[in-house]
Amino acid sequence: MLLGFLRQPEAKAFLTFVLSLIILFLSANAILISTCIWTWLSSNIVYFVPYFIIVIVLMRWFARGGQYLDVHKLNLDGQTFLVTGAASGIGKETAIELAKRGARVIIFARPTNLTDAINNVKKFSRSPNNIIGYPLDLADLRSIKACVEKFMKNENENTKIAALINNAGVMACPYAQTKDGFELQMGTNHFGHFYFTQLLLRRLRSSRIVNVSSAAHFMWAVPCDALHYAQMCDPNTYHPFSAYSLSKTANILFTRELQRRYGVSHNIRAYSLHPGTVNTLLDRYFNLSDFIRKLLKPIRYVIFKTPLEGAQTTLYCALSNEARPAEYHADCQPTPVYHKYAKDDKIAREWWDYSEKIINEKIKDI
């Protein structure tokens, strides 16, 4: 697990910074002659600026992680992509990159964000009419069903969908429930996308399905099952990061079982991925003071990926022939998951069955 963490771009960037400080102090003999530190600093100040510029450039180079360079060679004219959560962050940049290359992009976002999301992507498309959207609230099964029904009615049955990109999500929020009584993070990140994907399945033959997970799945290394989900649903045992972690494990298991069940019959190729630690609004629920946020802001710009950099592995999974179906990816390459329960096919089957059961109980009256 530690080795996996050290492979992360943000860890490499941080270690570069630490190493630069060690080199600086060793050069000044700071360890042996501490009284000479300030004298040495004042006499060598002219070297510090270029030194730290080089350090920051190196940190940014490490932080950006793997890049899907082949995307710049692609022409996506005539191909249709579905993207959830495209109003901001990684989803927005994913939709823009697809639109730039001529793709028809269908955006799914909350009703309050949908118009702005469509207009933001249209600016980058050669054919603005190729960018459309549907209102979708993944925390509401009724909204999901209505959205898919509208999509099915409006979209030609012969339209080939190149990829469904399940990008939307919430992170580390205070305890809350969806409109259907699910814990909010699992309800949005997993159950919502699970139901949405199932309703779309008959239109997804020979399509890719990309599920945005996270390396944070390692934070609560337990089986994704009814017992641990029940702990998430109890306000007395709820922890924001544990709940987020389990929902991201659920994304990985969903991907594995989706490939097993429909890889042959529907010719589906399903992928999960870690986008990296990205400088987005996903951490808006973190309990940090304004002072701490301002203090961390320049650090975030150096160590974290930009949303565009964070979208690279999503694009890789949606477009590259080198991506591996059923597998987990990071930095534009297949990557091992960080705990055994995230790659257990028995747990994946049982979690799928449980997800179907609990959703079916909720939709009886819809």
Known catalytic residues? 244
CA 59 – CA 302 distance, rounded (Å) = 7
CA 139 – CA 130 distance, rounded (Å) = 27
Determine the length of the chain.
Answer: 366
Which single residue is written with the structure tokens 């207009």? 119
Is there a contact between 107 and 325 (Cβ–Cβ < 8 Å)?
no
CA 231 – CA 242 distance, rounded (Å) = 10
Is there a contact between 121 and 105 (Cβ–Cβ < 8 Å)?
yes
Residue 10: exposure state from Cβ atoms within 10 A (0-12, 13-18, ≥19):
buried
Is there a contact between 280 and 307 (Cβ–Cβ < 8 Å)?
yes
Residue 43: helix, strand or coil by DSSP? helix
